[in-house]
Structure 1
Amino acid sequence: MKIKMKILIYCTLLTLLTPTVLADNKPFYLADDQDFAPYVYIDSEGRKAGIVYDLLVSIFSKMEQDLKYELFPWRRAQKIVSSGLADALVTIPTPNRLVFLVASEPIIRLDFTVHYNNDNPKREQILAINNIKQLQPFQMIDYQGDGWAEENLKQFKVIWAPNYTSAVGMLALNRGDIFLDDNLSIKAHVKKQIQITPKLEQHLLNIKHGDNVLYTVPLCLLIRKDSEYIGLLEQFNKTLHSIKASGEYQQIIDKYVLY
């Protein structure tokens, strides 16, 4: 009787523990943008790369947590997370996103300035802009899936390009007045497009930016509230602090800023 009871208790414990064991063995699934250089993108050789990509790979390695990091067109990446197929994405924590996601501490902050074509006859007026309200008279360019722009620029005239690369190309061809974004990302896309389409080099080099920072936004790890990995955020934040203190964080940034 005692033996049967021990077997029953053992089987019950095994049943209760199995889901936890399986969860521990399941990698953390992160879906992200394939076209957001230099933060995360697919390079010319088909490899995943970028400041955020390298930082996340390093952090999860130090946490000893298996990571499945896949890149997609941005709208698709967001859909994969919102539908529950992936645990997280890295982006700006807008109010709409925070309905079902929880944000880490900022991984990096982006300063948004106006970007324009130097041949634009409105150049001087564009350079005088020092707050978002002053964007009203201008034709804006942005890209589909940019949640921050969809929430903050909806009162303005916006041409929505299918992706980030297309938005930069439209600005190079003077098809709009302003693309409000981070200068490092614009520069990376200009460089990439010159390599792909050399005949557009002069147009792309005509893209300039103002000095006034209109908005600063954080890029954070956003984990689904119903993800089994929601408890990782505290460890993630601590590991982010540790790589900043060790100097590794800045080394990764410099690798892409200086390329």
Structure 2
Amino acid sequence: MTFTRRQCLAMFSATAAALAIPLSGIAEAPRLIMHYGDNLNPLSFETGDRMNGLLVDLMNAILRDRMGYDVVHQGFPWARAQQLVREGAGDGFCTNPTAPRREYAFFSATPALTIDFELFYNRDNPEREIIESVNSLEDIRNLSIVDYKGNNLARSIYPRSYDVLWANSPENIIRTLAEGRRDIYIGNPLYAMRIIREQGLEDTIARKPVSIMPPTRYHLGIRKSYPHARAVLAHFDLEMAEARKQGVVHDIRQRYY
């Protein structure tokens, strides 16, 4: 079901009334406790006692600045962060709305963030011409691949006959490419570019867009027991649409690319 902006604001007004909180001129804003993975730089990461990252900035821009919430950002190991939302100790998170998560949370209709995977390779690779022409899974069948242990998506996509080295960490993946020990890595460009910059490898590692793996979509999820959760999410969807039109989302993304 979709809502017009007028319907959404009417529902949100009802939410505020039910909570005895006016929408303007308030001394205390309604609180929303958001949970994140605390070591998912640059999406979400902890510095001292403060959460930072792309998802944190996005939630501040929409939930705090446009919807008027007192947003509390808390970081935990990702499995723990999700469990706390399930138990009601946290109110929401920003993630892929899988079937298990839908059991205890409602999700926004549209993603707050979509990340298309990219292909990374060494600029001096002798197979560079072949790599730069890659457009499909079939195109990489004769290339050597590196990915990280625990990446179930990659394991489900790469045929067993493909030559895949499973590295211990994203840092090891980039190092492997830089040393010329593997041809390609297909993954999240946010994580990869952070490591490439940190290791000073911008002139060594190149990247190109590919559609071999599905994009990662991060939706706002709110626990089902949160008051008027569906109305809050409908309002969020509308504010996200307006923020995109105004370039707010683009500007936040550019800080991390």
TM-score for both structures, normalised by structure 2: 0.66
2:177 counterpart of 1:171:
yes
Question: Which one of the candidate residues 112, 115, 118 is aligned to 2:120?
Answer: 115
Partner of residue 125, structure 1: 130
| 2:161 equivalent to 1:159 | no
Query: 1:69 matched to which residue of 2?
Result: 73
Question: CA offsets, 1:181-240, max 9 Å, x none?
Answer: 24454333211233xxxxxx5xx6321123544345143225266553653322221221
Equivalents in 1 of 2:255, 2:96: separation in Å?
A: 23
Matched, 1:78 2:79: yes
Listed as ranges, the gaps of 5+ residues in structure 2 are 1-18, 21-28
Task: Show structure 1 runs of 4+ deviating over 6 A.
Answer: none
* Compared CA separation, residues 59 and 111, structure 1 to 2 (3 A): same
Partner of 1:207: 205
Q: Which runs of 5+ in 1 are unaligned?
A: 1-19, 195-200
Task: Give the Cα separation in 1 of the matches to 2:101 and 2:142.
Answer: 29
1:181 aligns with 2:187: yes
1:90 equivalent in alignment to 2:94: yes
Structure 2 Cα separation of the partners of residues 32 and 227 of structure 1? 22
What secondary structure sits across from 1:114 in the alignment? strand
Tell whether the 8 Å contact from 1:115 to 1:209 is kept in structure 2 after alignment.
yes
1:133, 1:147 → 2: CA distance? 20
Q: Look up the match of 2:235.
A: 235
> Structure 1 pair 35/58, CA: closer, same or farther in 2 (3 Å)?
same
How far did residue 59 of structure 1 move? 1.4
Q: Residues 255 and 115 of structure 1: is their aligned pair in 2 closer, same or farther, counting only changes over 3 Å?
A: closer
CA RMSD in angstroms comes to 3.7
Change (3 A) 1:78 1:221: farther
Looking at structure 2, the residues matched to 152 and 187 of structure 1 have their Cα atoms a distance apart, in angstroms, of: 23
Decide whether the 8 Å contact of 1:57 with 1:67 is kept in 2. Answer: yes
Q: Contact (CA 8 Å) 2:75, 2:81: kept in 1 or not?
A: no
Indicate conservation of the 8 Å contact 1:140/1:157, yes or no.
yes
Query: Which residue number in structure 1 is paired with residue 25 of structure 2?
Result: none
Question: Structure 1 residues 102 and 205, CA, compared in 2 at 3 Å: closer, same or farther?
Answer: farther
* Letter of the 2:78 counterpart: A
- 43, 48, 58: which one aligns with 2:61: 58
The residue type paired with residue 60 of structure 2 is V
- Does structure 2 retain, via aligned residues, the 8 Å contact 1:88–1:221? no
The amino acid across from 2:217 in the alignment is L
Cα separation, 1, equivalents of 2:153 and 2:69: 30
Report how far residue 130 of structure 1 moved.
Answer: 0.7
Q: Distance in 1 between matches of 2:225 and 2:159?
A: 31
Check whether the contact 1:139–1:177 (CA below 8 A) recurs between aligned residues: yes
Q: Give how far 1:111 is off.
A: 2.5
When normalised by structure 1's length, the TM-score is 0.65
CA offset at residue 82 of structure 1? Answer: 4.5
Which residue of structure 1 aligns with residue 15 of structure 2?
none
Contact 2:32 2:92 in 1 (8 A): no
Q: Equivalent pairs: percent with the same residue?
A: 22
Q: Which one-letter code corresponds to 1:106 in the other structure? A: P
Greater Cα offset, 148-157 or 62-71: 148-157
